[in-house]
Amino acid sequence: MTNTTLKLLAQQLQLSISTVSRALKDHPDISASTKAKVHALAQSLDYEPNAYAIQLRTQSSKILGVIVPAISNLFYDSFIAAVEEESRNNGYAVMILQSSHNPENELSNLKIFRQNRVSGVFACLSSSSENLEVYQKMNEREIPVVFFDIVPKDNRFTKVRMADERCAIMAAENIIKRNAKKVLAIFGDEVLSITQKRKSAFQKFMQDFAPKIHCSYAHANSSLHAEELMKKFADKKNKLDTVFCMTDEILIGVMKTIQELQLKIPSDIGVISISNGFIPNLYYPHISYVETSGYELGKLAFIQMMANMKGGKTLTELTVDAKFVEGGSM
Amino acid sequence: MTNTTLKLLAQQLQLSISTVSRALKDHPDISASTKAKVHALAQSLDYEPNAYAIQLRTQSSKILGVIVPAISNLFYDSFIAAVEEESRNNGYAVMILQSSHNPENELSNLKIFRQNRVSGVFACLSSSSENLEVYQKMNEREIPVVFFDIVPKDNRFTKVRMADERCAIMAAENIIKRNAKKVLAIFGDEVLSITQKRKSAFQKFMQDFAPKIHCSYAHANSSLHAEELMKKFADKKNKLDTVFCMTDEILIGVMKTIQELQLKIPSDIGVISISNGFIPNLYYPHISYVETSGYELGKLAFIQMMANMKGGKTLTELTVDAKFVEGGSM
DNA sequence: AATTTTTTTGCAAACGTTTGCGACAAAATT
DNA sequence: AATTTTGTCGCAAACGTTTGCAAAAAAATT
């Protein structure tokens, strides 16, 4: 079965292609009666405009690209949900690709985006990828790039992210409030700027406001790793009384050890994490967490994208604030 | 900055567009020397073929569409991962859209797919959507549709799914093995065929092999709902000793109640679920589950898609088998 | 009735590719 | 030396739109 085209409609109605085209988009030049006829036929033959022809002609696709490290991540999920929602409202489709934390995949994804002439891309850096020239090239080709969450230090780009320092400080505040004595703070992938920001803010705050609290710092980039770390620190009877988990993955690993050692929360040990809330609420008592909303970040990112596409270059770094959610773990 | 096109290359090299086109794809008609020149220039101007022009000309895109109820779901995540992996290897890009369990969104997503002339779609039905004419129309337009997981009863379509009956029976087997007396089995959305299949298989097996076990059946389509259901059944001292959860969402709700009532697993109550394993392993002891692998399902779906695209109509229903994973909850 | 204005429609080029066919030269065959 | 084959390349049409501009028809103005 052949697709319905403008030409076909035109033939059947004894009209020119241009008239049909204009009728379909309510151009004031076209009379109401012909508009009606055209719409009717288009309906019954369920005409779908060929997006490829349109893009070829107009040189602008209605597709936005999103690169995330992984979609099996509640934070990115909600980010994508927000972007998709806004996109739908603005007539855009969203193409989602995952880098799987692999710079190589990131590159090949970018290539797919270029080939499909996306009109903008939201990018979250995969671990150690710092080949920013590719992104720079996209910007030069007038394809706006909005980095989110894991953003480059480079300030030639538009960036949106969580208020990482505030997150870390909020967590620190609540640890102090608990009268903690010995704290284990586990952060994520060391090479990421997001990790560095959170860690240094946390560290500084702890030193300044609670210098007598003993803090151990560690890094983990997987649940398994976090589990082992926790085992090491909790085992040697060093009276660890509080643990801070920077990510859901870390929290999961830490909880495995806590469950295994049958530690009581919050009496034996206090737990606090940074999360969107899904995982923390699975445990009993619920884990207290500093909430970071991928959803809000997505909304913000979309606004930035639109601004970039419409107007000039708004090269800014915007942040979304966080809030503390009390579970029963502190 | 304007994009590099064949025309531009042709001009700079004093060649015709067709020659450049052929050179770029190693057509035997073109001499080695010109091929080299063309490739060199294309490289330095980083030429990217315009996918839209290609599709317009060849009437075939290299994009596959995937519709899932939600991407924040580990089962679908792994399904997508598999499809994406295979797609990448075969030169396809994947466009992921979520229906959010909303038939209206499903429709609008389908429209986006049609407009972008995807060359195939993987579809998972959103709850109560049974407007199959749309899918039938796609098939008529020679856009193969492969349904997965939640598939229509209609046998005009290609379908891949888990061996739902086997899953349910495996769960039932292990419930019997536990010497259960009173069982609560909570299934998902009642209108879905996947639910019906699992439920009737479960029910039949229980009747035939353990008629003395008292089973209560219930439906839930959210964690909250499952939580309440569990509260109702566990509260009234009717000595409930085992609960079966058909989905992760249900398990989460059930576990909330179990934690709240401080029931001990597995002594007070046994728990078994159907899952890919992520959520069950968060609890302590780990929840025993029948494993369903979205990843394998994705691989299978892709194979079916390719078969549909290449050859004729392979209208079959294929299933992926499951296996039981022992936690400590039974 | 002749002119101007307004309304409605069509022509044709362009977007960047692919591809059947023909053209031309060089090489191989007679 | 005349012919055929082979190796390289270009012409031009087509894919389905959009849009500036011209044209034709109808309505309004003199």
List of chain A residues whose C-beta atoms are within 8 Å of the C-beta of residue B140: 1
Residue among A53, A84, A259 minimizing CB distance to B284: A259
B170 and B157 co-located in one domain: no
List of chain B residues whose C-beta atoms are within 8 Å of the C-beta of residue A259: 284
DSSP A48: -
Give strand letter and number of the nucleotide nearest B10 (CA to C1'): D10
Residue A209: count of CB within 10 angstroms of its CB? 12
Helix, strand, coil proportions of chain B in percent (round to 5)? 45, 20, 35
Give strand letter and number of the nucleotide nearest B59 (CA to C1'): D15
Mutate to test the interface with B, among A88, A138, A282 (most CBs of B within 10 A): A282
Residue A180 is which amino acid?
A: A
- Retrieve residue B93's tokens: 């890009």
A264 and A254 co-located in one domain: yes
- SS3 (DSSP) at B214: strand
Give strand letter and number of the nucleotide nearest A20 (CA to C1'): C9
B279 and B178 co-located in one domain: yes
Across the beta sheet with A158-162, the strand order is A93-98, A63-68, A120-123, A145-148, A158-162, A317-320
Q: Is B224 within 8 Å of chain A by CB?
A: no
Q: Do A72 and B78 touch (CB under 8 A)?
A: yes
Mutate to test the interface with B, among A71, A109, A265 (most CBs of B within 10 A): A71
Cβ B245 vs Cβ B226: under 8 Å? yes
Of the given ranges (A261-270, A282-291, B185-194, B257-266), which has the lowest mean pLDDT? B185-194
Residue A85 is which amino acid?
A: E
d(CA B115, CA B110): 9
Q: Is B104 within 8 Å of chain A by CB?
A: no
DSSP B132: T
Give, in Å, how far the C1' of D16 lies from the CA of A3. Answer: 11
Dihedral sign computed on CA atoms, order B128, B129, B132, B135: negative
Determine the average pLDDT of the residues in A245-254.
95
d(CA A225, CA A238): 20
Give the whole-number percent of chain A exceeding pLDDT 90: 49
Give the whole-number percent of chain A exceeding pLDDT 70: 96
Radius of gyration, CA atoms only, chain B: 26
pLDDT in the model for residue B110: 87
Tell me the residue range of the domain where A16 lies.
6-49
Beta strands in A69-181 (DSSP E): 93-98, 120-123, 145-148, 158-162
A302 and A156 co-located in one domain: yes
Q: Is B4 within 8 Å of chain A by CB?
A: no
CATH number at residue B264: 3.40.50.2300
Cβ A160 vs Cβ A146: under 8 Å? yes
Residue with the larger pLDDT of the pair A234 and B128: A234
List of chain B residues whose C-beta atoms are within 8 Å of the C-beta of residue A115: 48-51
pLDDT in the model for residue A312: 64
Mutate to test the interface with B, among A88, A112, A263 (most CBs of B within 10 A): A112
Give, in Å, how far the C1' of D3 lies from the CA of A31. Answer: 67
A170 and A200 co-located in one domain: yes
Backbone region of residue B91 per phi and psi (left: phi > 0; alpha: psi in -120 to 50; beta: other values): left
Q: Between A and B, how many CB-CB pairs are < 8 A?
A: 106
> Which residues interact with strand C by a CB < 7 Å criterion?
A 14-19, 22, 29-34, 53, 56-57, 59; B 3, 5-7, 17-18, 21-22, 24-25, 47-50, 53-54, 56-58
Residue B171 has pLDDT above 90, yes or no: yes
> pLDDT (tens digit, 9 = 90+) per residue, A293-328?
899 999 999 999 999 887 666 678 999 999 999 999
Question: In which residue are the tokens 């924040």 written?
Answer: B72
B137 and B195 co-located in one domain: no
Residue A324: Cβ-neighbour burial (10 angstroms; 0-12, 13-18, 19+): middle
pLDDT in the model for residue A237: 67
Report the largest interatomic distance among the alpha carbons of chain A, rounded to a whole angstrom: 88
> pLDDT (tens digit, 9 = 90+) per residue, B212-239?
898 888 899 899 999 999 999 987 666 8
Would B187 be classed as within a structural domain? yes
State the Cα angle at A138 between A134 and A144, rounded to 5°. Answer: 130
Residue A103: Cβ-neighbour burial (10 angstroms; 0-12, 13-18, 19+): middle
Would A230 be classed as within a structural domain? yes
Question: What is the C-alpha end-to-end distance of chain B, expressed in Å?
Answer: 65
pLDDT in the model for residue A109: 86
Mutate to test the interface with B, among A1, A46, A47, A50 (most CBs of B within 10 A): A50
Would B282 be classed as within a structural domain? yes
Long-range contacts of A56-60 (CB under 8 A, 24+ apart): A56/B50, A56/B52, A56/B53, A56/B56, A60/A119
B308 and B285 co-located in one domain: no
Cβ B160 vs Cβ B300: under 8 Å? yes
Would A326 be classed as within a structural domain? no
Cis peptide before B285 (omega within 30 of 0): yes
Question: In which residue are the tokens 């794809």 written?
Answer: B25
List of chain B residues whose C-beta atoms are within 8 Å of the C-beta of residue A1: 140-142
List of chain A residues whose C-beta atoms are within 8 Å of the C-beta of residue B116: 51-52, 63, 93
- Separation in Å, CA of A200 to nearest CA in chain B: 30
Cβ B223 vs Cβ B253: under 8 Å? yes
Question: In which residue are the tokens 């390719």 written?
Answer: B306
By residue count, chain B amounts to: 330
B17 and B69 co-located in one domain: no
Residue of A nearest to B80 (CA): A71
B226 and B122 co-located in one domain: no
Residue A212: count of CB within 10 angstroms of its CB? 5
DSSP B313: -
Residue B108: count of CB within 10 angstroms of its CB? 15
Residue with the larger pLDDT of the pair B134 and B185: B185
Of the given ranges (A87-96, A177-186, B167-176), which has the lowest mean pLDDT? A87-96
Residue among A84, A93, A112 minimizing CB distance to B116: A93
A115 and A224 co-located in one domain: no
Would B12 be classed as within a structural domain? yes
Residue A218 has pLDDT above 70, yes or no: yes
Of the given ranges (B7-16, B36-45, B89-98), which has the lowest mean pLDDT? B89-98
Q: Do A112 and B93 touch (CB under 8 A)?
A: yes
Across the beta sheet with A323-325, the strand order is A214-219, A182-187, A242-245, A270-275, A288-291, A323-325
> pLDDT (tens digit, 9 = 90+) per residue, B50-101?
988 998 898 878 889 999 988 878 889 889 989 988 998 888 888 888 888 8
Q: Which of residues 43-82 of B touch strand D (CB under 7 A)?
A: 53, 56-57, 59
Dihedral sign computed on CA atoms, order A323, A326, A327, A329: positive
Residue B58: Cβ-neighbour burial (10 angstroms; 0-12, 13-18, 19+): exposed
Residues 123-182 of B with CB under 8 A from A: 137, 140-142
pLDDT in the model for residue B313: 66
Total structural domains within chain B: 3
Report the largest interatomic distance among the alpha carbons of chain B, rounded to a whole angstrom: 89
B83 and B182 co-located in one domain: no
Q: Is A104 within 8 Å of chain B by CB?
A: no
d(CA A208, CA A206): 6
Would A72 be classed as within a structural domain? yes
List of chain A residues whose C-beta atoms are within 8 Å of the C-beta of residue B77: 70-72
Would B179 be classed as within a structural domain? yes
d(CA A94, CA A98): 13
- SS3 (DSSP) at A85: helix
How far from chain centre, in Å, is Cα A233? 32
* Protein-proximal nucleotides of chain D (any atom < 7 Å from a CB): 7-12, 14-20
d(CA B203, CA B198): 8
For every residue of A209-258, DSSP letters joined together read H-TTSEEEEEE-SSHHHHHHHHHHHHHT-----EEEESSHHHHHHHHHHH
Cβ A146 vs Cβ A159: under 8 Å? yes
Would A205 be classed as within a structural domain? yes
List of chain A residues whose C-beta atoms are within 8 Å of the C-beta of residue B49: 115
* Protein-proximal nucleotides of chain C (any atom < 7 Å from a CB): 7-12, 14-20
**In this structure, what is the dihedral angle of CA atoms A99, A100, A105, A106, given to the nearest 10 degrees?**
30
CA dist B62 → B59, B102, B136 (Å): 10, 27, 21
B45 and B116 co-located in one domain: no
- Retrieve residue A84's tokens: 């998709």
